[in-house]
Every structure is written in structure tokens, then in C-alpha cells.
A and B are shown apart, each in its own frame.
Chain A
Amino acid sequence: MPLRKDIHKVLVIGSGPIIIGQAAEFDYSGTQACRALREEGIEVVLVNSNPATIMTDMETADKVYIEPITLHYVKEIIIKEKPDGILASLGGQTGLNMALELHKDGIIDKLSIELLGTSLSSIKKAEDRELFKQTMIDINENITHSAIVTTIDEGKEFAKTCEFPIIIRPAYTMGGSGGGIATNMVEYEYILGTGLTLSPISQVLVEQSVAGWKEIEYEVMRDGNDNCIIVCNMENVDPVGIHTGDSIVVAPSQTLSDIEYQMLRSASIKIIRELDIKGGCNIQFALNPESFEYVVIEVNPRVSRSSALASKATGYPIARVAAKIAIGLELDEIKNSVTGTTYACFEPSLDYIVTKVPRWPFDKFNSADKSIGTQMKATGEVMAIGRTFEESLLKAIDSLDIKLNYQLGLELFDAMTTEQLFEYISSPKDETIFAIFKLLQKGVNTDTIHDITKIDLFFLTKLKNIVDVASEIQNAGIAWLDYTLYLKAKKIGFGDSYIANLVNVPLQTILKLREKYPIHPVYKLVDTCAGEFSAVTPYYYSTYESKDDVIKDDAKKVLVIGSGPIRIGQGIEFDYCSVHSVEALREMGYESIIINNNPETVSTDFDISDKLYFDPLTKESVLDVINKEQPIGVIVQFGGQTSINLANALSLQGVKILGTSVQSIDDSENREKFLVLLNQLGIPLPEGKTAYSFEQAKAITNEIGFPVLVRPSYVLGGRAMEVVYNNKTLEEYMIMATDISKEHPVLIDRYIKGKEIEVDGICDGSNVLIPGIMEHIEKAGVHSGDSIAVYPPQTLSTKTQKLIVSYTEKLAKALKVVGLFNIQFVMDKHEKIYVIEVNPRASRTIPIMSKITGIPMVNVATKLIMGQTLAQLGYKNGLVKSKDFIAVKAPVFSFAKLNNVDTFLGPEMKSTGEVMGVAKTYKEALFKALLSSGIQMPKNGNVLVSIANQDKKDSLSTLTTLYQKGYRIMATKGTYKFLVANGIDCQVVKKSDVIKQIKNKKINFIINTPTRGKISETFGFSLRRTSIEYNIPCITSLETTAAILSVANYFILNDKPPIYSLDEYSKGAIK
């Protein structure tokens, strides 16, 4: 059937903020879907609360609503926009759940709006455990022995019928939230309890584990004419038992014969037909490694993280095709945009192997439980393409950007004995692969490792091959590192720095050798068809073979360096910036080239840039691409710290860094130089010094006094940043910090507990444009990424704002910034302004500021980088007049997924994503932001209050408000005494009873400020963790509490501020 004529306007539901289990992949799929629909002349209305996305750009859809994805707001949008159809299957679990809610509400039927693509009954069949089970039984597909339970008792009954381990999967949660594998009754009851609480319908599937079987996934597409194709199948290197988001995954499957491949392919098609899915779907199987026996683990009736991976792995644009199918097109009517001549009705054939490796946040959450299982913990992932498994795996490890220069991570386990290593790999952990490398290096055979880990021998022997080649090189030394051996090393995927390390020579020696031979990578094309047809998409990966697919051209090229995997502190916003930079370059007529390795993002979509290199962001890989392409220069300021960290190394190799110079970058990041500069400019900064040892640190604190803010220089997302109150903690910190960065010292600053203010500016070297100022709700000491931020400032005097503008201009000019920069200020109680830091690069807030001010900041910055001036682009200097609406950014956390992570807000960033609320007034905007971020203030009920001593005085006014709003206050002993003494009626709760009260749902809201110091006291920590597990809001900052209370009436009275689209806000068409 051709395009449907009755669909003119479609509402696309986005996936909201980035959280673990629902990340950038939905920006990628949502953006692709919007474009695919508009290509067909359909008017697209979009709702998504996540501002840091390409999807919410005004250019992506006809109408963009950055509003909360709640039933009320989505209904408002539907009533206002009257779409003919709703597309929910591209917005992850959030989109699907919203579709179910809308249906339940009745509005879709009432207004005769069609849910496009997969129907609701299909979604239910796939998502509802009981229905799914019955459906699979009906079509003779096996599933594991399981039961649906809604109470702990039912769960216990089931446990009697089978053996442990038992897997617990809550219904309707994403990323397996609340699930796990229990090996005994105690674990079982605990996980079951959590799962029942987290499932919105209190329904949990418990099933006998098939842990140890092969986990195989199929990505299937089906159109309205029942045509089905497999885009790709994937094999998890880690066997069943580990969430696929936390598994190392390869595409295509490696250990399946054609019989097994086709058996599961046929089953996939049978399943997608039975579920009547129209669009894309992901089916996971467990396959017995010793027979043809298999079971269906689960079906995702929508575009998923795996489909984003499959799209990038094959070049097949799943989201685009799914969107076209939703509006009636059939697979044989949709062009394959990779070849331009063939059609979407085919199955991609790969002539390379793809490896995906998860990126976990454990570098930031030291205390976190690093075991991995059925609950996803990774914040992001990297993908690498190679012509051998070894090459693609090692390239993927390189792409992780975990500063693991030595690819096999062997030194991580230097201290462990073989026995300890066996113990380590006996349960899956984030660094299992490195431990296996170590065991292999110690000569342990692959069979032994297979017996423990159940990882297929195919993969283990490949790992052994890597270790063997490493020792061959080590043995050969520089003396025998001949052409053949060096080429072998490159083909297996070793970086030059690792080879240098193995043969124990400086990197320079290896580089000379490489030039002498010479050996360089070639670049192959990802073309969906294994070379069978000529392809038009310039999507390349490096490998060491004979023929290069890149066609030489003499265009004026610019390389933009991407930001790699999504991690805490470096999220989707930098992908947003990279994409806009590339678009600006194309607009200016340059050939734009991007290098990146994150399969979840828009920037790695092959039609964004003129050329896409899917490769690691190491110095070596980037230089190879530069060598190949000979760009006129490289832009490093949009890819976050990953790319900025490359600036110096590239520059030393003679690469032209476009925009702000390497010198200026250093001037702003080198503390000593920065101090000198600020002194010259007369701009205050908190007193501070640089220390390389504890002794030095102690001397500094003697001088400036506690508390101090300590951090290593050159950090990402405030990693390892702390507020320190005494010598003891300082000493602990210094011991730890020297491991963090041997080359860079620790910075020690006086900690000023004041208001934090943030400015993003654009500078052409001599003129400065400041689109806006943001003020933070939380005081300095809470990482800016975790703070609620408000535009324009609500409490700053004109004088203060003028001073900030003046400092900003002075600094940018002095640093000769060309492009974007971000400055963070703190204001003490005397309204004195200090500079905390300057980042001569794009910041987290660029997408937000661009969207609310209407100034395309990255576009402008890119043009300045390429030599234009602000004046030429029609921009005046200084602070742009504020818009007549308010925008509030709120952080979103993923604590439910990360056991043992303390949730209190501090100088280390912990949030995984953000949302924005926009409205006419501050309170309305704040309310929307809070609602979008998932914070629900109960209308009434019990609020537990436990305040640290140092905060008690400051807390009084906030707690008085709380009391006046009619909440019943329960307090721990010290807080109780304090409140009673101040005339606030409340009830005392014994610390030992608190956890029980939470479990019994006697507490609806928690306010808990932690006692100072990194090591969390037992009570507060367990209080905060329990609140997460039982899904009760727990606020750890008094300022946040006050902000929430200031808009409590919206929650209490169920009052909802109106919705407007972005262009209505920007035109001022709001009431």
C-alpha cells in the first residue's frame, strides 16, 4: 500500500530525559522518525521534555513541545493540535507507556485518533507477561518456566516449584529496572519486593534461569502487508543472565550455524506476525549451546537500544523505515538510503564484525555495586567495526575513553593471584573481560575460563589469540619487531601506544617504524550489502587491509571530533553540539567530517555529515583520519572533554586546531596560569593553590582554612571533586587522587557556599555575545550538572548581572576565545562574585540556551571558528535581552539502577540526564521541570525529615513552610528536638524504625541532608537507598526542598500551567 492519504498530522512522543536503560538512542530514532515523516509531507508535532536533543530542535518538527510527558500534558497537546495519528513506538518505554495511558484515558478513541504502527493490543501482548506467555504458547514457541506474581506470597509459591537461580523481571519497567537473579530465598524475597514496587502495575515475572545459554537477538521489521525482514542478528558474548545493555555484543552472530540462524530467524518472523507488529521489534532468545533447544526471553515491540545498535552496525535505518511503515508504506516501496538504488526490503549482509561494549559509570561511583546482571547499569555504549573479532573488540575498548591506554587492562589485575582472579570472574562484573585477559596471560586455559564464565570458547580463544600476540610482541622486543609482526599487531587491533608499551620503547620509536615501513590503515565502507552494490553513503571504518574505499577529493574539509559514549558528565548535549557544528560547516560549503564511536547518537547517523568515520577517539585514530583526509583544520570544542583533551596532542603533530587556540585552552585549564590571568584582569577567584602531595595540601589549607574544594586538574563532570572539612579527609583524598592523574596535580580552593551562576558565551576573538545567564537553585558545592538552573536569573540584581557580563567579556577576550565558552561563578553573601572555572568549549547547557534564546549557538560559534565575526553574522555584543518567559532545567538521576550509590548531591556529578520546564512565570516553569524530572510532591501525608547539624539553622524557614502546607512531619531525634524547640509540631521516629516505616509506605516524602564528608554515615545512606528502592522522593538539599515547596500548591491543588510550543514561546505568543 502506498502512503496513506488520511494522515496529515502526527504526534510523535519522545522518550524524555536520559536515564540508564533509555539513553541517546531515542534521540537518534526520534529524530530519524520526524525527518522520515516530514519527507512524506506530514506535519509533525513533537513532545519531549528533554532539551538536550536534536529531536527537540525547532527544525526537527513542525511544532515542538518541551513539556512534561505526563497524561495531562500530552492530552492538552492532543486537544490543541488535533493530530490524525500518534507515533509512540519510537519514544522507548516512555512512549509506549504513554500510549497505554492515553488509551486507558479514552481520549484517543474519543477524538478518533489512530495509534500508528504497532497497535495497543499488540503492545500489550508483548509487554504484559501473562498475555505474552499465552501468545507464545499459542504459537508453540517455548518460554522459560515462569509465573506472573503480584505478591510476595505468590512469588514464594512459585519458588517451591523450581530450582534457583530464579530471574525476577518486573513488568513495564525499562532497562530491567528492579529485576535481578536470585540464587537463594533471601535474595529472592528482596529482589521480588523491589520489583513489585517498581512495576507500575505491581506485576513481576519470575522464571527459572537459563543462565549460561547463548543470548541471541534478532531485529525484525514488518510492514502492513505482512512482509518481514531481519535487519540483523546479534550474539551476546556474555551468556544469558546479563542484561543485553550490559553485555558485550557482536553482530552478526558468530557461533550459530545456518540451521540455528534460520531456526531463530523463522521463530522471529512467526512471533512478529503473531504479535501483529507494524514497524521494528527486537526479539531475544536463549539458545542452549548443546542442542537446538531455545526459549524466547522477551520481545520489545518497538524501536530499542538494540535497534539503534543494529542500525549503526548494518547501515539499515530502522527508525526511519519504522516511521514510513507507520504511515502506510511497504518495505518494497521504501528506498535503501545507503545504496540509493535498492530497497528497504532486503536483509543486510555484513562484511565486517561489529562489537559493542557497554560504558559503565563506575569510574564515578566508586562505592557502587559493580556486579552486572539482569538490571542494566551502563549509561552508554561504544561500537567498533573491524574485519576480525579481535580488531573490533580492541577498537571498542579503545573507544571507551576510560584512560586504559593499555588495551588489555592487564595492570588492573597485577596484584591478583590466579585464585583471586577465578573468584573475580565467578560472577559477572564490569571488568570481567580484563580479568580474563589476565588469566589467559597467566597461562590458564580457555576451557577452565569457559567452565566458570560460560562464555563461548569461540570468543575465549579469540581473547587468547590477542594475549598470545601481545606476548609475541613483548618477546620480540624492538629488535625483532619487523614488518610482519608489526602488521600482525595492527591487524589484531593494537594501538601504537600499546605496542610501544609492550616492547618498552617510547611511542615515538614505534611511530618512526610505522613511517619507515610504512603501514597505515585503510578505510572500508559500511554499505548494508557486503560490497554487492555500489553505495552512496560515506560511512567508513578503519582496518588494516589492502584496498581503501575512500574516494580522494580536493574539497575544503573540516573534521569535527565527537564525544564518544554517553557517561555521567558527558552526555547527549555534546552530540547535539557536534551535529550542529557539522550542519553549520555544510551550510558554509565545507566538506564536514565527523569521527565518533557512539552507536546511540544522531552524530553517527550517516546522513548528518559529508563523511562519517566510526572509529575510536584516540590520538592515533584521529590522526589517521586526519592523515587520510587532510582537512584544513579540526574542531575540538564541541565533543566535550574527550575532544578537548586531544587538542594538545594533535596540535603537537602539526594539526591545525580551529577556534580557540591550544594555548588558550591551556591558559584556562592550567591553574597557575589562570590565576595570573585573573589577577591581571582584576577578577576574583576563590583562593586556592595546586598541590602534588598531602604535605603541600596541608600547607595550603593552613593558609586558606577549611572547608576547601579539592579536585584533580583536567577532569570531567567533577570527577573526584569533593568538599573537604578536615585534615583527615584531606589526607585520604590526596592518597586517592594521586592515582587519578599522575600527570596533573590536585587543585585546592576555598569553598564558598554561595549562589552559583553560569554563563555560556560566544566570542569571535574580540567581541563577546552572551545569549543568557542561568542561576542555580542549589548552592555552590552541588555540581552544576546536578543543580536546578533558571533562565533568566530571578534573584540577581542588575548590578550583579552587569558585573558578571563584564567579567565574562574580559575573560573571553583575554583568553582570545574563538567559539563557545562557559564560565561558572559563585556569589558570596556579600554579593561578591568569584570565577570558579572557565571552560573554553561547549558546555552542557548549550542546547538549552540555544533553544530558549533562539540563538543557534553552535551554528554561530562554528561560523566564528571558520573566520566570520559576530558583526558579520548580525549579532551585537554583550548580554542579549531576556525573553519574556522562564526556563528551568532540572537534573534526572538513575539511582534505582545503581546499587550502593549514595544519592546526596555534591560536587561530583551524579545525574544522567535533564529536563526543561518552560512557562510564563518562574513557578510554573519550575513546576513543569520538577514534574518532568519525576519528582512528585504528595498532596498530603507524612514527610520524614532528618537534617544534619550544620544545616539545622538554615532549614527552619523551609520546614516551617512544609508544616504550614499541612504535611505531617516525622523527624529523627536531633531534628525533632530542633523543630519542637522552634515551635513546629512533629512526631519523633527512631532511626531504627525509619526503614520499616518506609517499607510499610508510612512515609510519602523525605528530606535528608547528609552529614559532611565523603564517607556516608550508615543511617543516612541506608535511608537514601531505601527511599530509592521504594520509589519515595528523597531530597538532599535544602535549596531544592525550598524550591519544591514553593510550587507545592500546583501539586496539592492539581493545578497545571498551560502548554505552548517552542515557537509560541519564542514569538511571545503566551499568556
Chain B
Amino acid sequence: MKNAVLLLKDGTYFTGENFGIEGEVFGEVVFNTSMTGYQEITTDASYNGQMVCMTYPLIGNYGMNNEDSESYKTHVEGFIVKELCQHHSNFRATTSPNDYFISNKIVGIKGIDTRALTQHIRQFGSMEGVISTKCGNIETLLKKLNKYCQTKRQLVHEVTIKKPYIFEGNGKKICLLDFGVKSNIINSLTKRDCEIIVLPAFSDANTIMSYEPDGVLLSNGPGDPRDLPQVIKVVKTLVDKNVPVFGICLGHQLLSLAMGLTIYKLKFGHHGGNHAVKDLLTTKCYITCQNHNYAVSHKDIPDGITITHYNINDKTIEGFIHKEKKLLSIQYHPEASPGPTDSAYLFDDFIKMLGR
């Protein structure tokens, strides 16, 4: 087995073994606490620019299949596990984990103390790192990593579709701005008989309005929402035109910025399927699937905004509505995939919000 090393920006490194392809990859290192759903995670475009460390130590147990991907390709820059299963077992499995990572050209590192890495990130925050099978010289690698850190990637640009495409349906007409949309968001809408027009992230307001949508959905996606001022402007226009808008994850953050809320970066984000959120309107709690590094600030909440959801543990804002406008903004993932499906009702709420 080929040696591999994971080096973090602060100089901390972990040595392990390579899986997937050999190479040298860079990205922000985050950890995910989901115990299942690794295939969904690797194919979630929100992870573009990130390398994911799975906290559960046995990954790949049920193999890889043709059904569980959240997009047409993998998006993680690198994958970090304690143990990658050699002999997977599940009736749907079509590919072994290692073959999957090879065919998707992912550089993986295994055999490292993932708990130690997780604790390090918890303590010092998420940071850039590099996985290399080419170079074990820490100083050389660190130089390369620092260089990578100075480049500014256009993360949404990299993953959004280039041309619109349409899902037929007899129900509501939804324009979906694709910042890296997960396929189960689309599935959740088609299941509700929606007609969906998936649009590139940087579509302008007129283009969107030309479809005469009943509502707009701002999808999940990678990176810092503050890097997308042109999108924020478009969202503002849509809101001004009283278009009903549903924001999910990055979409929620963009909607927040459009509504005058502020955004800050969390130390190490929320990545997992066990975060409890309280709905202030119903007082009910939900276990949610989360994947974000940024959050909406409690500071200076403009008039008209009603915070509807907050995180039970760290009290961060998880959702809001507007007193007059038809807005639904949710930080977590009602489409789950992976994670609890408890919040799927939010899609119904969205459809309801669109009116007759």
C-alpha cells in the first residue's frame, strides 16, 4: 500500500495509506459526523473545495451503488477515513469503495487517527490541507499548501450548470438556482409534481422572471456566500418583485444577505446528520442534516424578519420567514441525503407558501 500524508496549514500532519488514486490534492479540511451516507457526501457539490474527514471509523461497509449519488460526479477534493472497507456487503452495491474512488479520481488517505484530526479541527477550526502520495517532505508540502491558500477559487462557478434544464411537472413552476444542487432537492420537488427549471447560478433576474415561476428555490452550494455579490443582487430583485423564495443552506445564506442580515464563519461548521433544531413557531424539535461553514448572525436583524428556527446546541440561526414577503429560509437540509428525513415537510410548506 502506498504511503500518504495529510498536512494541515498549521503544520500538523498525519501519515497513513493511500486509497483511490495517487496524487496531491488541496482543500479545506472539514469533518462529518454522519455514520452512514458516505456516497451522498462525496457527491455533494457543497463540498467542492473541501476534503472531508469521516468521524465514523469504518467507511465503505455497504459499498457504492448507482442510486445514492447526489450529483453526476464526486466533488470532495480528498477523502479521509480511518478504515476503508475491503469487503463491502449490501444488495445494492455495484462497486467497491476503492474502485469507486479510483474511477472518480479521488485521492484518499486511510489509517489515520481520524478522531485526533477531528479534535484538532474542533480546537483550531477548519483549515486548508493537502493530501499527498508524492511528497513526504513536510516543508516542501507546506510551501505548496501556502501557495494554494493564496489562490481564490470560484467554487460555485466550478459546480453550477452551464445551461438551463427542465424537469416536467404538472404542479407549481419552480426556478431553481443551481449553486451545486443536491439531486434529492430536485427529487423532493418532482415528487410534489413541480415543474422545475434548473438555472445556472449566475442567471439574472430577468432571465429568471422570463420563466414566470411560481417560486424560486436557491440551492445549497459550496463556499462563502459573501463571494457572490451579483447573486445577492439578483435575489434582492426577486424579493422586491414579491417572488416567493425558498433558500436552502447556501441559498439561505444568500437570501439572508439579500435581506440585510449578516454572515459570519463558524469555527468548524456543522457537518452531520444529528443536529437538533427547534421550530419556534411550533415549539417542535427536529433532528436535521447539516453541512455548512457559515451562519447567519443574530446581530442587527432587520424589521420584517422572523427567526423561526434555531440550533438547540449552539443557538445559531437555522431558519427565518418574513412578515410580509413569501420567504422561507432554512440553513439545514430538508432533502436529507444523507440524514434524517424529518424535515421533508418544509418542501410542503414551500409549495403551500406559493399559494393557489
Interface residues of A (CB under 8 A from B): 225-227, 229-230, 252-259, 261-262, 265-266, 269, 289-291, 330-332, 341-343, 345-353, 387-389, 456-458, 461-462, 465, 524, 529-534, 545-547, 549
Contacts and interface: CB of A to CB of B under 8 A. Distances in A.
Contact of B35 (A252, A290, A465, A547): A252
Nearest to A269: B342
B120 to A, nearest CB: 9
B55 A530 contact: yes
Interface string B246-266: 000000000000000000000
A341 B315 CA distance: 12
12 contacts: A252-B36, A258-B339, A291-B91, A341-B313, A345-B278, A353-B58, A458-B61, A530-B118, A530-B272, A531-B118, A532-B31, A546-B113
A1042 B28 CA distance: 79
B33 A262 contact: no
B281 to A, nearest CB: 13
Interface in B260-290: 272-276, 278, 283-285, 287
A347 B274 contact: yes
Contacts of B276: 229, 331-332, 343, 345-346
B37 A255 contact: no
A457 B87 CA distance: 8
A524 B115 contact: yes
Contacts of A533: 122, 313
Interface of B: 14, 31, 33-37, 39-40, 55-58, 61-62, 65, 67-68, 82-83, 85-92, 112-116, 118-119, 122, 272-276, 278, 283-285, 287, 312-313, 336-342
Main secondary structure of the interface of B (DSSP, over half): loop
Contacts of A269: 342
A256 B37 CA distance: 10
Contacts of A347: 273-274, 287, 340
Contacts, number: 165
A257 B36 contact: yes
Nearest to B41: A258
Given A256-B36, A257-B92, A258-B36, A353 B57 contact: yes
B122 A531 contact: yes
B92 to A, nearest CB: 7
A179 to B, nearest CB: 29
B35 A532 contact: no
B122 A534 contact: yes
B299 to A, nearest CB: 22
Nearest to A390: B83
Contacts of B56: 252, 349-351, 530
Contacts of B113: 545-547
A332 B284 CA distance: 9
A720 to B, nearest CB: 41
Among B36, B113, B336, the most chain A Cβ lie within 10 Å of the Cβ of B36
Chain B CB within 10 Å, residue with most, of A229, A290, A331: A229
B223 to A, nearest CB: 22
A351 B57 contact: yes
B38 to A, nearest CB: 8
A547 B116 contact: yes
B89 to A, nearest CB: 4
B17 to A, nearest CB: 12
Contacts of A465: 86
B313 A352 contact: no
Given A266-B341, A331-B285, A388 B57 contact: yes
Contacts of B61: 254-255, 458
A254 B284 CA distance: 31
A254 B337 contact: no
Given A349-B56, A531-B55, A532-B122, 5 more contacts: A252-B36, A257-B39, A265-B340, A531-B119, A546-B113
Among B33, B85, B112, B122: residue with most chain A CB under 10 A: B33
B68 A349 contact: no
Given A227-B285, A258-B36, A332-B285, A346 B274 contact: yes
Minimum-distance CB pairs A-B, first 9? A547-B116, A258-B37, A461-B87, A258-B338, A458-B89, A530-B55, A531-B118, A347-B274, A258-B36
A483 to B, nearest CB: 14
A517 B61 CA distance: 33
A533 B31 CA distance: 12
B274 A258 contact: no
Given A387-B57, A388-B57, A290 B119 contact: no
Nearest to B344: A266
Contact of B58 (A262, A343, A389, A547): A389
Contact of A349 (B33, B89, B284): B33
Contacts of B36: 252-253, 256-258, 261
Contacts of A461: 86-87, 89
Contact of B275 (A346, A352, A530, A546): A346
B339 A345 contact: no
Given A255-B90, A257-B92, A262-B339, A350 B82 contact: no
Contacts of A348: 274
Contacts of A350: 35, 56
Contacts of A341: 313
Contacts of A261: 35-36
A973 B75 CA distance: 85
**B35, B336, B338, B339, most chain A CB atoms within 10 A:** B35
Contacts of B114: 351
B83 A388 contact: yes
Among A330, A353, A530, A546, the one with the most B-chain Cβ atoms within 10 Å of its Cβ is A530
Given A290-B91, A547-B113, A346 B35 contact: no
Contacts of A389: 58
Given A227-B284, A258-B338, A351 B273 contact: no
A347 to B, nearest CB: 4
B35 A349 contact: yes
Given A347-B287, A387-B57, A532-B118, A262 B278 contact: no
B58 A254 contact: yes
A546 B341 contact: no
A457 B65 CA distance: 17
B313 A545 contact: no
Nearest to A462: B87
Contact of A346 (B67, B112, B313, B341): B313
Contacts of A457: 87, 89
A262 B338 contact: yes
Contacts of A256: 36, 62, 90
A977 B89 CA distance: 69
A734 to B, nearest CB: 48
B34 A346 contact: no
B89 A351 contact: no
Contacts of A546: 14, 112-113, 116
Contacts of B91: 289-291
A349 B271 CA distance: 12
Given A349-B55, A389-B58, A547-B113, A342 B313 contact: yes
Contacts of B336: 262
Contact of B55 (A262, A351, A547): A351
B81 to A, nearest CB: 11
Nearest to B64: A257
Nearest to B270: A532
Contacts of A226: 284
Contact of B88 (A289, A332, A346, A458): A458
A387 B313 contact: no
Given A229-B287, A456-B89, A458-B87, A351 B118 contact: yes
Nearest to A291: B91
Contacts of B87: 457-458, 461-462
A257 B62 contact: yes
A809 to B, nearest CB: 54
A533 B267 CA distance: 12
A256 B276 CA distance: 23
Contacts of B339: 258, 262
Contacts of A262: 336, 338-341
